[in-house]
């Protein structure tokens, strides 16, 4: 089940909210746990989520009692082993077969939904308990609710236990939070359905052209960037909105990353929960930047190898991580004093981001090389042709809208208008109408289209 589906929006969510708010507070976590498991197992058949949840609950109890590094190491290794078996075992078998020229049979494993996300949540909980940064959760139902909480279960953001600990036990739902949650959900749904899906469909069309050009490849690369941004940030918006409806306050996961003026700035704004996870649990424990230059480069390399590998068992993701490592290293050593904002810094950053998502989307290394050569005009392709111009005209308005929507311009205008009392009253009338209109358009689009993938579900 996905958030951008009729069954979720008009059946699952209303039923959950009715049951949730009818029940006394002491039963609401149980209701959330039951509905979250129903949400997860609607399509998922693997019970690794349940096994992982129970295992980490008892490991947390053990670590909280003994404060022994051995138990922490056991917990981290157990979680990484489960993730490695399901996500990476066939990748290693494939590469070993190629290197050793053997034919080891692939394992019959299917990647469980959301395993990368709930594994990292479990690991962060165990480490925080060991460090004394959070208390042990002794109620297995509350811990189960935390891990299976459906807004963040399948595609994040990576919610740390210490950030929702108090709200698991004593949260205060309010009308304002609920209203803001609904608005945030509709914004995310609109990003996903109206922008990410439409731009994704454009990319599919451009990829299937019989006569490709330099311009068609550039459009496709820009399309990949917008599709992934609106797909994932839209999902995060919906997750944050759903959490607000239920009295939880998740941290932001995106902060307009496409307005970044350096790669460093981009990664402060993009998938913030993942960046902060690797910073707090890998980079800083390795010594961060408070070590010799060689060790600092090693630390940076380890983080970005892991960041790339976390996204998928494929060489293109590893290359994607190394690609960002190289540019981050160059910036920190040479370019930081020149990247002070402004048009040049922004164009430089956008170019790096757009190329990165070509690497991210391509199925293998040869496809990446071929696409980049075509985009840079190295394979004697035409610059443009009639077919390319046709699709450019068809999608240029959409790309302009996407460009505006990827910046805080609209939010800033609305906030400026709200500062004036007379206009604020008009906004308070127009705002509900706009959100109802967006929800209606999204519903009509979902009913009429079968193209509705969530890119990050595969991670």
Please report the pLDDT score of residue 449 as a whole number: 75
Lowest mean pLDDT among 20-34, 216-230, 364-378, 417-431: 417-431
What CA–CA distance (Å, rounded) separates 358 from 366?
A: 12
**Cis ω on the peptide bond leading into residue 283 (within 30° of 0)?**
no
Considering just the CA atoms, what is the radius of gyration of the chain in Å? 23
Query: Would you name the residues annotated as active-site residues?
Result: 311
* Cα-to-chain-centroid distance, residue 388: 31
pLDDT at 8 over 80: yes
Please report the pLDDT score of residue 316 as a whole number: 94
Q: How many Cα atoms are found within 13 Å in the side-chain-facing hemisphere of 286?
A: 19
DSSP string, 379-432: S---S--HHHHHHHHHHHHHHHHHHHHTSSHHHHHHHHHHTSHHHHHHHHHHHH
pLDDT at 383 over 80: yes
Structure tokens at 235: 């999902």
pLDDT at 456 over 80: no
What CA–CA distance (Å, rounded) separates 129 from 131?
A: 5
Per-residue pLDDT tens for 84-119? 999 999 999 999 999 999 999 999 998 999 999 999
- Kindly report the backbone phi and psi dihedral angles of residue 287, in degrees, each rounded to the nearest multiple of 5, phi listed first: 120, -10
Average pLDDT over residues 4-32: 95
Instruction: Report in angstroms the alpha-carbon separations of 19 from 57, 168, 239.
Output: 27, 18, 19
Q: Are 368 and 358 in contact (CB under 8 A)?
A: yes
Q: Are 386 and 334 in contact (CB under 8 A)?
A: no
Per-residue pLDDT tens for 241-268? 999 999 999 999 999 999 999 999 999 9
Q: Which of 252, 196, 269, 274 is nearest to 228 (CA)?
A: 196
How would residue 429 be classed by pLDDT, with cut points 50, 70 and 90?
A: confident
pLDDT at 158 over 90: yes
Close Cβ partners of 129 (under 8 Å, ≥ 6 residues apart)? 60, 63, 64, 135, 136
Average pLDDT over residues 274-294: 94
What is the DSSP secondary structure assignment for residue 282, as one 8-state letter? I
CA dihedral 227, 147, 309, 134 (to 10 degrees): 120
Q: Are 63 and 76 in contact (CB under 8 A)?
A: no
Q: Is 339 left (phi over 0), alpha (psi -120 to 50) or beta?
A: beta
- Count the neighbouring beta carbons within 10 Å of the beta carbon of residue 225: 22
What CA–CA distance (Å, rounded) separates 441 from 193?
A: 9
State if pTM tops 0.85. Answer: yes
Q: Are 224 and 357 in contact (CB under 8 A)?
A: yes
Average pLDDT over residues 399-413: 94
How would residue 453 be classed by pLDDT, with cut points 50, 70 and 90?
A: low
Instruction: Report in angstroms the alpha-carbon separations of 387 from 202, 215, 223, 421.
Output: 13, 11, 17, 50
Structure tokens at 100: 């050793």
Instruction: Report in angstroms the alpha-carbon separations of 66 from 71, 80, 135, 359.
Output: 8, 22, 13, 45
N- to C-terminal Cα separation, the chain: 16
Pick 429 or 404 by higher pLDDT: 404
- Kindly report the backbone phi and psi dihedral angles of residue 332, in degrees, each rounded to the nearest multiple of 5, phi listed first: -70, -30
- Helix 140-148 and helix 161-169, axial crossing angle in degrees, nearest 10: 120
Lowest mean pLDDT among 11-15, 33-37, 229-233, 415-419: 415-419
Q: Are 311 and 459 in contact (CB under 8 A)?
A: yes
Q: Are 248 and 171 in contact (CB under 8 A)?
A: yes
What CA–CA distance (Å, rounded) separates 196 from 440?
A: 17
């Amino acid at each position: 089940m996905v958030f951008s589906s009729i069954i979720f929006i008009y059946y699952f969510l209303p039923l959950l909210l009715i049951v949730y708010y009818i029940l006394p507070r002491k039963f609401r976590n149980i209701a959330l746990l039951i509905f979250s498991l129903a949400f997860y197992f609607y399509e998922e058949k693997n019970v690794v989520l349940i096994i992982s949840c129970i295992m980490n609950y008892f490991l947390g109890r053990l670590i909280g009692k003994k404060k022994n590094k051995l138990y922490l190491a056991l917990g981290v290794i157990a979680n990484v082993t489960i993730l490695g078996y399901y996500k990476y075992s066939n990748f290693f078998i494939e590469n070993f077969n190629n290197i050793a020229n053997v034919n080891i049979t692939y394992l019959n494993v299917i990647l469980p939904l959301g395993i990368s996300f709930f594994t990292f949540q479990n690991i962060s909980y165990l480490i925080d308990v060991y460090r004394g940064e959070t208390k042990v959760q002794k109620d297995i139902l509350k811990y189960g609710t935390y891990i299976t909480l459906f807004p963040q279960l399948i595609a994040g953001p990576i919610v740390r236990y210490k950030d929702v600990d108090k709200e698991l036990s004593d949260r205060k739902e309010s009308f304002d939070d609920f209203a803001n949650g609904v608005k945030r959900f509709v914004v995310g749904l609109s990003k996903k359905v109206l922008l990410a899906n439409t731009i994704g469909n454009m990319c599919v069309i451009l990829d299937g052209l019989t006569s490709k050009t330099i311009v068609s490849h550039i459009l496709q690369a820009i399309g990949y960037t917008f599709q992934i941004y609106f797909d994932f940030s839209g999902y995060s918006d919906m997750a944050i909105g759903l959490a607000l409806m239920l009295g939880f306050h998740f941290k932001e996961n995106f902060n307009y990353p496409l307005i970044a003026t350096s790669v460093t700035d981009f990664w402060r704004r993009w998938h913030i929960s993942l960046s902060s996870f690797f910073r707090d649990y890998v980079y800083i424990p390795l010594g961060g930047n408070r070590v010799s230059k060689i060790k600092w480069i090693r630390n940076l390399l380890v983080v970005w190898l892991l960041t790339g590998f976390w996204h998928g068992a494929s060489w293109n993701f590893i290359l994607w991580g190394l690609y960002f490592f190289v540019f981050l290293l160059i910036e920190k050593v040479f370019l930081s004093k020149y990247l002070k904002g402004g048009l040049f810094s922004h164009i430089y950053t956008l170019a790096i981001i757009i190329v990165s998502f070509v690497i991210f989307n391509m199925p293998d290394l040869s496809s990446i090389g071929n696409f980049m050569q075509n985009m840079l005009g190295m394979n004697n392709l035409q610059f443009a042709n009639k077919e390319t111009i046709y699709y450019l005209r068809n999608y240029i308005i959409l790309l302009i809208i996407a460009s505006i929507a990827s910046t805080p311009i609209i939010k800033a205008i609305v906030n400026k208008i709200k500062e004036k009392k007379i206009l604020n009253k008009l906004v308070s009338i127009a705002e509900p109408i706009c959100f109802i209109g967006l929800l209606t358009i999204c519903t009509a689009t979902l009913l009429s289209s079968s193209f509705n993938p969530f890119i990050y579900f595969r991670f």
